[in-house]
């Protein structure tokens, strides 16, 4: 997930900077990077579901964990997640290739998903995929959290820690799900404050795409005991140096 989010942030930041500098760019160039951005964005909640399932197996079926969560099966799960994340963007591409003339891909547009994949019925397809993926991930996280929560009542420290981990997955998931619910809000704000279109896009980008992926490594890093020990040592040494 770290690699996935790093790619997502790199591509989206690059597209945002390019859009600010050049405003309109080639459709073919834009399509390639939009597809990567959509693909990596869809992967994050699916990866969270996979992580929650692994914690559930480790706590509720500890004797079978080594047989179930093997390296080979982990690679298969990652491949399945990436394939599922690629389906929405690839269907957008294939439908657009089928209905758009070739010269459309040689034109220039402001690089957004809606300006590249413009077929009206694609929005209904996106909502359908978003609803299916959101439901699957939510049900998975809730089910695994409740199962691990019941196991944590046995005063098992590992179960309690796993319960907190899955709860963090749920918080992280809610932040990632802003991607699926922000479009109506963004459209309404643009209609009301049309002259501030660029500013609205910038704020939405920061809140929906940057903030969830910025907080994730910080939260998990601080929860790690070794990282927290070195972090405290760094700030203590830094504070003493400043006093001196």
Given a cut of 50, is residue 57 above it in pLDDT? yes
The pair of structure tokens assigned to 1 is: 């997930």
Rounded mean pLDDT, 27-44: 86
Residues 116, 31: contact at Cβ < 8 Å?
yes
Percent of the chain predicted with pLDDT > 90: 0
Is the CATH number of domain 2-182 1.10.630.10?
A: no
Q: Per-residue pLDDT for 140 more than 80? A: yes
Give the DSSP letter string of 116-184: HS--HHHHHHHHHHHHHHHHHHHHHHHHHHHHHHHHHTT--HHHHHHHHHHHHHHHHHHHHTHHHHHHH
- CA atoms of 14 and 10, how far apart (whole Å): 6
Task: Report pLDDT for 18.
Answer: 82
Q: Residue range 168-172: average pLDDT?
A: 68
Confidence (pTM) = 0.74
Query: Domain locations in the chain?
Result: 2-182
- The structure tokens listed for 236 are 């203590």
């Amino acid at each position: 997930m770290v690699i996935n989010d790093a790619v997502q942030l790199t591509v989206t930041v690059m597209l945002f900077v390019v859009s600010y500098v050049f405003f309109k760019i080639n459709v073919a160039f834009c399509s390639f990077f939009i597809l990567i951005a959509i693909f990596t964005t869809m992967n994050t909640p699916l990866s969270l579901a996979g992580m929650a399932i692994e914690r559930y197996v480790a706590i509720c079926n500890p004797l079978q964990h080594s047989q179930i969560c093997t390296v080979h099966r982990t690679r298969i799960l990652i491949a399945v997640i990436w394939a599922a994340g690629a389906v929405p963007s690839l269907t957008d591409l294939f439908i657009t290739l089928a209905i758009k003339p070739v010269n459309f891909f040689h034109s220039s547009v402001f690089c957004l998903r809606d300006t590249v994949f413009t077929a009206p019925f694609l929005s209904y397809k996106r909502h359908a995929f978003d609803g299916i993926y959101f439901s699957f991930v939510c049900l998975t996280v809730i089910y695994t959290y409740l199962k691990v929560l019941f196991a944590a009542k046995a005063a098992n420290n590992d179960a309690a820690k796993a319960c907190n981990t899955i709860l963090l997955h749920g918080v992280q998931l809610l932040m990632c799900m802003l991607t699926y619910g922000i479009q109506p809000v963004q459209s309404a704000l643009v209609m009301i404050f049309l002259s501030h279109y660029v500013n609205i896009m910038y704020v939405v980008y920061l809140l929906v795409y940057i903030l969830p992926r910025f907080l994730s490594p910080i939260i998990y890093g601080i929860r790690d005991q070794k990282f927290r020990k070195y972090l405290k040592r760094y700030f203590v040494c830094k504070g003493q140096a400043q006093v001196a």
